[in-house]
Structures are given as structure tokens and as C-alpha cells.
Amino acid sequence: MKKKVISVLLALTMVASLTACGGSDGGSTSAGTDATPAEDSAPAEDAAPAEDAAGEEAAVTEGASADDNTLTVWTWDPNFNVYAINKAAEIYAQDHEGFKVEVSEVQSDDIETRITTAVSAGDLSTLPDIFLMQDNSFQKYVINYPDVFTDLTSSGINFGDFSAAKVAYSTIDGKNYGIPFDNGTVINCVRTDILEQAGFTVDDFTDITWSDYMEKAKVVLEKTGVPMLTAQAGSPDQVMMMLQSCGSSLFKEDGSVNIDGNAELKEIMNVYIQMVKDGTLVEVTDWDQYIASLNNGTAASAMNGCWIMASITPVEDQSGKWALTNMPKLDTIANATNYSNNGGSSWAISANCQKVDLAVDFMNSTFAGSTALYDDVISKGALATWAPAGESEAYAQPVEFFGGDAIYAKIVDFATKTPSNITGAFYYDARDAVGVALSNICQQGADIDSEIKTAQETVEFNMGG
């Protein structure tokens, strides 16, 4: 079982929230009744464009399909998203003879660039029937380019079956524009053997507050010499996860910036800063060092989107030494929870699609309606936020690497409890500004209030305000 679980999750290694969601650009595949799964190979974030037999870059299929039974798709990562859409087509074709998808492998950033280019040219005919979009970019692109997206609110898709937080990423002004796909639910993976040396079990880190967590982290450091957490210096990922866990955002409902005066954000930053001072959270210089800290035992836990499991499980001799639980919650925030999200993407049907009914039915029958699909793509690490999938036998299987726990069902349950947050059109500007503030405070000793104020002013300036 251990080897199976490891191979299941390896494909997630590069699906990190903001640093590794890209895939190689170019290349087309199609799937129907005779589709074959994609080969198992780990894609690199900076992978070279796909090439044909002549060594030339493979062409990207532009535009909607003229065939009545074919849909064109843009997505990235052959072992994750491409595999999933091809498997969905294979399942759909079982009851819809002749149906197929024509998939072009296009990097996430390139999809966004192609959308911008099409709008700027006043010609949406280059867009495919369906494309995948990062959740954190979704609202920005719908707000800026509403004519690109098909309104799915009255499509018949039951968005109530998905995690509300996941659906919120592609909901603008009460209208649905995306079909949720992969799960970025935050998990707290702990090294049970290290905790045991400090006199703790995973239960001691379940359903707890950050103040409790901080005190226990000091004990772990004192008894074992190992910090509870590591984080990439300058990255606000940990702060952003904590912020969403209490239902707060960097923006208000009216779209105005919510950094300066955001009591939740300041408390979260203070927790982070104090843990750095205590040595219970150690900042590392880059992503490779972060992953190394998890693999070589120089961190007692990993708190991140569930895709982080793929970076943990390759160390086979650590099987059974890890456990999975939820994250701590903020002590003084009334709406604080032990749940959050980091990463993920959703499907969109473009306004260029001439077969909207077919596209909607395809999505409704698969990503919004097929336990068989999610039971299969779990083999590629694609965990659902579609609640019914969590009730299947595949999700109930014990995972030896994580102490025999049924972690997949647990993660889907976490997803249903995750609060929504507001991203908007300037999410990345705000996120980056908070990251700069955090870096200045932790590494240069800057004043937290002045840094928060500067972050607010930076984002407002970028917004033209």
C-alpha cells in the first residue's frame, strides 16, 4: 500500500499554490472511448515546451471545435489536469458515443496571457471551449474581462455540492463562472515520532488554538531541537492561510483594500513574528530548502495545501511516521476556524464555445457529478472539493504512510468547513505587499504598524486610488 500511495501523490509535487502551478506549453491530446491514461512522469515547473517528432514546438489548438461532438480544452500539467480532463472525457463518452476532447497543454500564465491578448484584439475566436484557471486569478479575469466567461449560475450544475469556499473563488456578484476542480485544502502534517520525543501525539495538535500551538511548539523545540514549522522567507503563504481560516481577506466586499486596520491580519502577523523570534518557525531561503526541511527531519510538521503530501511521501523510510490533522485557529477572532485553503483551480466555459449545452452537460456529468472520475484521478493526487466524492470507498481507504488514516475523506471534510475569502482583481498585488511587509519586519526589524500601512498604500496606488 505504501508504494501505491507514494506513486498516487507524486504528481502533486509541483502543484504548489503560487510557485509551481505551471506546466509545459504546447502539445495536444484527445480522449474518447479509446483514451489511454497519460504516462507517469513528473512535470517540471520550467519544463520546455512540448515538441513533435521533428523537434518543433507542438501547436496549440485555437478556437472552439467545429465538430458537434468535440470540445477544445486548454490546461496545464500532463499528469494532473490533462489526465483528469481526458479521464472525464473517457467516462462521458461511455454514454455519449463519439464524444471527445481535444486538449492543448498550455501553461497557466500563458492561458491568462492568451485571454488578455484575445480581448485586446477584440477577437475571442482564438479561445477554446473550456479552459482551466487558477482560483486566485479567477475573479480578476472575470471582473476585467466578463465577456470571456459563460455565466453558469442557471446551468443546472449543483454548486451546493462543492465546498462553499472553493465555489467562492469563481463567484462574482452572486453569479457562478467556474466549475471547481482540485483541492487546495490546508492540512497540518506532523511527524509523530518527533512529537513523541516531546511527549505529544497528533491529538495534542488537533482542534487547537494558535496560542496553544505556540506553547507546544516551544516544548518540541526544547525537547528535540526541531522547530515545528519552516517557511520560505518573504512568502506570505502561512499568513494567507491563517487569514482565510478566520474568514478574513485583504479586501472588503466593496473591493477596497483591507490591510491597514485589519485586526485579524495584524494578530496573525504577530503570531508569525513571535514564532520566528522563538525559533519555532524557521525561515529558509527558497522552496527547495523548504521541501528539504520536511524530508530530512529538520521540521516537525508541514502546514500547507494538501498537495504538500506529494513532497513528503517520497521518503519511504518515513512511512507511518506522519499523521494528518487540521490547523490551529486564532484565539481572539469570533469567526476563526481550524480550516483554510492554499491553491487550486477551476474550469471555465468560454464565451467562444458554440456548444454550451454540451460543455455544461459534460462538466455536470463528470467534475460535478461522477464519483467514478474522482475515484480514478485520486491516483494522480487530484482530490475533490465535490462533497459526494468524499463518501466513496476510494476516499475511505487507509493510507499507511499517514498512520493508516483515511486522509482523503478527512481532507474533503476539511474543505467543506473552510471559510470563503475575497480575492478580487488585485489579489496578487495585496499578497505581495504583505509578503514585503513580513520580510521587512522579520529580517530587518521594521515596525509592524508602519509596514502594514505601507502595504495598504502600495496596493491602493497599484489600484489607481
Residue 413 maps to a domain: no
Same domain? 191 vs 160? no
Residue 420 maps to a domain: no
Residue 417 maps to a domain: no
pTM for the full model?
A: 0.79
Give the rounded distance of the alpha carbon of 24 from its chain centre. Answer: 18
Q: How many domains does the chain have?
A: 2
- CATH number for the domain spanning 216: value is 3.40.190.10
Cβ count within 10 A of residue 313: 26
Which residues 6+ apart lie within 8 Å of 159 measured at CB? 167, 176, 180
Same domain? 141 vs 77? yes
Q: Which string of DSSP letters, residue by residue, matches 166-188?
A: HHHTTEETTEE--EE-B--BEEE
Q: At what angle do helices 427-444 and 237-245 cross, to 10 degrees?
A: 120
- Residue ranges of the chain whose pLDDT lies below 50: 1-57
Q: Do the strands 229-232 and 28-31 form a parallel or antiparallel pair, or are they unpaired?
A: unpaired
Same domain? 329 vs 351? no
Residue 13 maps to a domain: no
Same domain? 39 vs 68? yes
SS3 31: strand
Type and span of the H or E element at 342: none
pLDDT confidence of residue 26: 42
pLDDT confidence of residue 58: 57
Instruction: Report d(CA 343, CA 325) in Å as an integer.
Output: 18
Which residues 6+ apart lie within 8 Å of 433 measured at CB? 259, 454, 455, 456, 458, 459
pLDDT confidence of residue 16: 33
Per-residue pLDDT reduced to its tens digit, 62-107: 999 999 999 999 999 887 899 999 999 999 999 999 999 999 999 9
Same domain? 331 vs 402? no
Sign of dihedral through CA atoms 416, 92, 115, 79?
A: positive
SS3 284: strand
Residue 67 maps to a domain: yes
pLDDT confidence of residue 59: 78
Residue 440 maps to a domain: yes
Which residues 6+ apart lie within 8 Å of 27 measured at CB? 49, 50, 58, 78, 104, 105
Residue 421 maps to a domain: no
Residue 10 maps to a domain: no
- Of 363, 379, 408, the residue at which a domain comes to its end is 408
Same domain? 395 vs 256? no
Same domain? 335 vs 347? no
Per-residue pLDDT reduced to its tens digit, 216-268: 999 999 999 999 999 999 999 999 999 999 999 999 999 999 999 999 999 99
DSSP E strands in 250-392: the ranges are 281-284, 301-305, 322-325, 345-349
Same domain? 100 vs 113? yes
Which amino acid type is present at position 231?
A
Same domain? 358 vs 431? no
Same domain? 238 vs 161? no
Percent with pLDDT over 70 in the chain: 87
Same domain? 213 vs 157? no
CB 435 within 8 A of CB 236: yes
Q: Residue 242's domain spans which residues?
A: 186-340+426-462
Instruction: Report d(CA 247, CA 333) in Å as an integer.
Output: 9
Same domain? 402 vs 450? no
